[in-house]
Amino acid sequence: MCEKYYQKEYETMPREEIRELQSKRLAEQFRHVYENVEYYRERCKQAGVTPDDIKSIDDLDKIPFTCKDDLRQTYPYGLFAVPMKDVVRLHASSGTTGKQIVVGYTKGDLDIWEDICARQLVAIGASAGDFLHNAYGYGLFTGGFGIHGGATKLGCTVIPISAGNTQRQIAVMHDFGSSVLCCTPSYAAYLGETLKEMGLGPDYIKLKAGIFGAEPWTEEMRKSIEKSLGIKAYDIYGLTEVMGPGVAYECSEQNGMHVNEDHFIVETIDPKTGKRLPDGEKGELVFTALTKKAFPLLRFRTKDIGVLNTVKCSCGRTFIRMSKPMGRTDDMLIIRGVNVFPSQIEEVLLKQGYTSNYQIIVGRENNNDTFEVKVEMTPDKFSDVIAEVKAEENKLSNALLTILQIKAKVTLVAPKSIERSEGKAKRVIDTRKLI
Ligand code: ADP
Ligand code: ZN
């Protein structure tokens, strides 16, 4: 395949030049954060690091980590590094305690985000003239607006359909001539199935490619989506704290995602010791944002486990490649593309007068995540009247929906019927085998 690039000068930059660019940008960014984020400056003072100590990426190790808990401590705007009048957009994602985290963008930051999403689109063969069917959710979630911005900049005809109403999605694809699909991989699989259920095949629609991310998915799933929709399916990685989708992007080789190294430094560390690992060794992925100004995190610990690959890619891009995330170091679940922490569920249950005897059961049926929460009734809440139990289950399900943004099937079970554990409670049963 003849590769095209959106910003060739960066995407194919010699490694030595990338290093120099990263060094220069790191020194500037460190100074920016140090001078404008009091919380982080205090952290640096404790570690004995000042902007004069950070001259190149060789000094990266001196920079303290940032983690999700820091976002919680400083919620909502404590890590913002520009005055709020310069922030033109906010996005949000789940935090560990039920409280969401919030991030912001300047106009310049949005410009960078659009560029990196446009790089992804060009890498998979999209261009102006393509009909971009954007079925990522629009809203505080970064997926919808991220891809939307990149596609608009590239000149695609964007169809901002958002997620849901699956049969209508197929009708729109057919009528409007959608050629590139963007959504979570599970939704892509569901669209493929729906097409089949409607008695139609891939030739009913004109899709040629899809960009899917925001949750783990397997190579088998990739093959099945490619077959059911008649497309090539590509992976995209991102996270709200660092930017949103487009932090890393897959090329025609479909063999790892290129990290946009002019805008981000990626490292792998040993999650236990925090020590940096050599490229090629499996570890926790850590990102430093080099160019964004409103919410610039330095050495952010993603809790995603991955491997970096420095072998030159035959697509011509020189950016390092990261593997698909191979798991997490925390207990975060991604259910239907949404981040869910067991602690959020526990908080809701305790508030409603239940105990922490519950179980989260996640599975997959017809390429769709199933999500059930089994909750033990307490003796004083015990009822054997079906209508009462159903009403209580609905109430809990709605309370969970408010916090998690996704619907769980709640099943109340008899007191003391959930198995007690002698060690760590096994609260999550996840049978999806995604990695
Ligand atoms: P996003 O809006 O990009 O999903 P979130 O902050 O809600 O951002 O979630 C980010 C997390 O989603 C990542 O830390 C990672 O665990 C997961 N994720 C994102 N993209 C992928 C991908 N392509 N494959 C596997 N997991 C992914
Ligand atoms: Zn490549």
pLDDT at 280: 96
pTM: 0.88
Per residue in 361-418, pLDDT (tens digit) is: 999 988 789 999 999 998 888 888 999 999 999 999 999 999 888 999 999 999 888 8
Q: Please name the residue whose Cα sits nearest to atom 21 of ligand 1.
A: 214
From the alpha carbon of 338, which atom of ligand 1 is closest?
7
Ligand positioned closest to the Cα atom of 314: 2
Cβ neighbours around 96 below 10 Å, total: 20
Q: Which of 90, 80, 88, 92 is nearest to 107 (CA)?
A: 88
49 CA distance to ligand 1 middle (Å)? 31
Task: Please compute the mean of the pLDDT values over residues 236-245 and round it to a whole number.
Answer: 97
Give the helix/strand (H/E) hosting 150.
helix 142-154
Rounded CA gap, 23 and 165, in Å? 47
Bridge-partner residues for 406, per DSSP? Answer: none
Rounded CA gap, 223 and 210, in Å? 12
- C-beta of residue 163 within 8 angstroms of C-beta of residue 213: no
pLDDT at 423: 59
Task: Please compute the mean of the pLDDT values over residues 246-265 and round it to a whole number.
Answer: 98
Task: Please compute the mean of the pLDDT values over residues 234-242 and round it to a whole number.
Answer: 97
Rounded CA gap, 254 and 215, in Å? 17
Task: Please compute the mean of the pLDDT values over residues 219-237 and round it to a whole number.
Answer: 94
Rounded CA gap, 225 and 344, in Å? 32
pLDDT at 98: 55
Rounded CA gap, 236 and 276, in Å? 24
Residue predicted with more confidence, 158 or 343: 158
Residue 243 backbone dihedrals phi, psi, to 5 degrees: -175, -40
Residue predicted with more confidence, 221 or 13: 13
Among 63-77, 107-121, 254-268, 339-353, which stretch is predicted with the lowest mean pLDDT? 339-353
Angle at 371 between CA 365 and CA 375, to 5 degrees: 140
Q: Maximum Cα–Cα distance for the chain, whole Å?
A: 71
Q: Please name the residue whose Cα sits nearest to atom 7 of ligand 1.
A: 93
- What lies within 8 Å, CB to CB, of 251 at 6+ separation is 3, 123, 124, 258, 313, 315, 317
For 147, 159, 167, 172, 173, the CA distances from 194, given in Å and listed in that order, are: 24, 20, 7, 14, 13
The pLDDT confidence band at residue 292, using thresholds 50, 70 and 90, is very high
| Distance linking the first and last C-alpha atoms of the chain | 29
Rounded CA gap, 242 and 237, in Å? 11
Ligand positioned closest to the Cα atom of 95: 1
238 CB within 6 A, ligand 1: yes
pLDDT at 422: 60
Q: Which of 210, 240, 242 is nearest to 226 (CA)?
A: 210
Q: How many residues does the chain have?
A: 435
pLDDT at 420: 73
- What domains sit in the chain, N to C, each tagged with a CATH number? 1-328 (3.40.50.12780), 333-430 (3.30.300.30)
Task: Please compute the mean of the pLDDT values over residues 18-23 and round it to a whole number.
Answer: 98
Ligand positioned closest to the Cα atom of 186: 1
109 CB within 6 A, ligand 1: no
Q: What is the mean pLDDT of the chain?
A: 93
Whose tokens are 């409607």? That residue is 198
Per residue in 176-227, pLDDT (tens digit) is: 999 999 999 888 988 998 999 999 999 999 999 999 999 888 888 899 999 9
- C-beta of residue 236 within 8 angstroms of C-beta of residue 213: yes
Helix (H, G, I), strand (E, B) or coil at 292: coil
Per residue in 85-134, pLDDT (tens digit) is: 999 999 998 755 556 899 999 999 999 999 999 999 999 999 999 999 99
